[in-house]
Each structure stands twice: as C-alpha cells, then as structure tokens.
Amino acid sequence: MAEPTRFEAGMATRRSVLGNAHVDAATARKTPFDDDFQTFITEGAWGSVWSRPGLTQRERSMITIALLAALGHDEEVAMHVRATINTGCSPDDIKEALLHVAVYAGVPAANRAFRIAREELAKRETGQ
C-alpha cells in the first residue's frame, strides 16, 4: 500500500482533532478563491506539524491553545478548546496552558482566553 500523501495524512489528522462535522463544513465552504489556502493548511499544519511523531495530540492542543491565545486569535482558541474533546486535553490542561499565557504573553491575553475557554467548556457540559 502506498504511503499517504501529506494532504491525505493531514486530512486524517485534521478530522481526528477537529471532528468530521467541522472539517466537512469547512470543506463545503471552500471556494476557488481559498482552495489553495485550505490545501496549504491541510498539508502544512495538519499533514506536517500535527502529524509528526514526538508530541501527543494532547500536548499539541495545549501548545496550540497557548499560542493562539497569546496572539489574540479568539475564534481559533474557541475551535481548539472544542477540539480538546478529541485530543485528550483536559480542562485542567487548558487552565495550565493559559496560566503560561498570562506570564509570558500578558494577563489581558490570558483573561480573554480564559473567558473563551470557560464558555466553550460550559457549552460542552450542557450539550450545546
């Protein structure tokens, strides 16, 4: 059997982390304008970085949430907090990552990210 392409590996990892519903919705929204960008994300982020050995998906989730929070990418923070249900990253793991954000990227960035994480985790608990 042939080795999967970087795109195929990336799509499998993307689906395992974000879930089929999210990836299917993103794929359905794809247009000729952003098709190359979506391929780049799938191959680069998911097929190259997230698919590498060495770190677990749980560890990658923590790193990703911290980086996105530090950079103020709120929608992406929310998406990756939702994805933790698939990666094994616990609410306590998220809390620890965001405490690092407070020290190294600033309290305002962590404050915003804590709010987002709290909201997403509450939705999970209520089944929303």
Q: 105: which DSSP letter?
A: T
- What does the domain layout of the chain look like in residue ranges? 1-53, 55-128
Helices 74-87 & 20-29 angle (0-180, nearest 10): 140
Mean pLDDT on 89-113: 98
| Separation of alpha carbons 77 and 87, rounded Å | 14
| Residues 6 or more apart in contact with residue 71 via CB below 8 angstroms | none
- Rounded mean pLDDT of 20-39? 95
CATH topology for 55-128 is AhpD-like (1.20.1290)
User: pLDDT for 45-54, tens place per residue?
Assistant: 999 999 999 9
pTM of the predicted model as reported, rounded to 2 decimal places: 0.92
- In tens, the pLDDT along 81-100 reads 999 999 999 999 999 999 99
Residue 3 pLDDT > 90, yes or no?
A: no
Determine the average pLDDT of the residues in 24-46: 96
